[in-house]
Amino acid sequence: MLDVCLLGTSGMMPLPGRWLTALMTRYNGSSLLIDCGEGTQIAIKEKGWSVHDIDIICITHFHGDHISGLPGLLLSMGNSERTKPVYMIGPKGLKRVVDSLRVIAPELPFELKFIELNEAEKEIELAGYIIRGFHVRHNIPCYGYSLLIKRGGRFMVEKAEENRVPLKYWNRLQKGETIEEDGKIYTPDMVLGPERKGIKLTYCTDTRPVKAIVENAKGSDLFICEGMYGEKDKDIKAREYKHMTFHEAAKLAKEAEVKEMWLTHYSPSLTRPEEFINEARQIFPNTKVGRDKKSTTLEFDKKE
């Protein structure tokens, strides 16, 4: 199961009752955060989740509304007795930007490990997550992220017996371990059936519609996408500032054949996004208005 919380939904600046856009997930005891604007740690506390278990922080780009909350969050994580390293993923220049922000948070009881993205797409496996960063189109380098949780095949007794796998290794192989004994190697595929459908979440913001979003969001269980503007007459402004409208996000969701879409990263002028949701739903019916602390739990398909 993957717990998902949209911590905030505001773009550009926080508003009363609306924190800046950030996303947090929890899986198997490990938490992941995407973006960290001003007030993100307060949103986490309001949700009742812990900053201590954040193992990975992904940054989409270096505009202040997506990264300015980082020093305070890191200090809070240090005060929570965090000692394990924290991985940070983001565009090229990430270490330089974070080191600059850390002038006011120089002493931390844990190491920061940086993974900088410079490719069109990159896949990273950490803490049980497969994280796929993909380049989108904003006015500075910006990445979207897909999170995948793999699901192995079913254990097959007949397959284990056919491959003469000793009974004592069945459980370990089922958990993905490879075992070598007396010059013989036993691998998980010797006892498991085909890999089953896992869980997929895709998040993108601050971008124009591009093919990479459709390709990477394809088949997502949940697609969280920028909807900077709800009004149709804001198309020109969206193109000028490299953002998206509700109906553009809905077209991406439809083309990517996702199960559900939440809109986020609203313009400060868009105080009632629900007034414009019907137009998006005409294109992609399962479009939802993202709200602060909107949460869900994504589960493996029980039919698989």
Residue 279's nearest CA partner among 249, 240, 258 is: 249
Per the annotation, the verdict on 35 as an active-site residue is no
Q: Are the C-beta atoms of residues 59 and 36 closer than 8 Å to each other? A: yes
β pairing state of 287-289 and 143-151: unpaired
Distance between CA atoms of residues 6 and 21, nearest Å: 8
In terms of DSSP H, where are the helices of the chain? Answer: 40-47, 64-67, 70-79, 94-101, 157-162, 170-174, 211-217, 235-240, 246-256, 277-283
DSSP category for residue 119: S
Distance between CA atoms of residues 142 and 178, nearest Å: 38
Query: Which contiguous run of DSSP H or E holds residue 3?
Result: strand 2-8
Catalytic residue among 3, 35, 55, 65: 65
Which residues are bridge partners to 10 per DSSP? Answer: 20, 266
Q: Are the C-beta atoms of residues 187 and 178 closer than 8 Å to each other? A: yes
Q: For residue 190, how far is the Cα from the chain centroid?
A: 33
* Amino acid in position 237: K
Phi, psi (deg, nearest 5) at residue 222: -145, 130
Residues marked as catalytic:
65
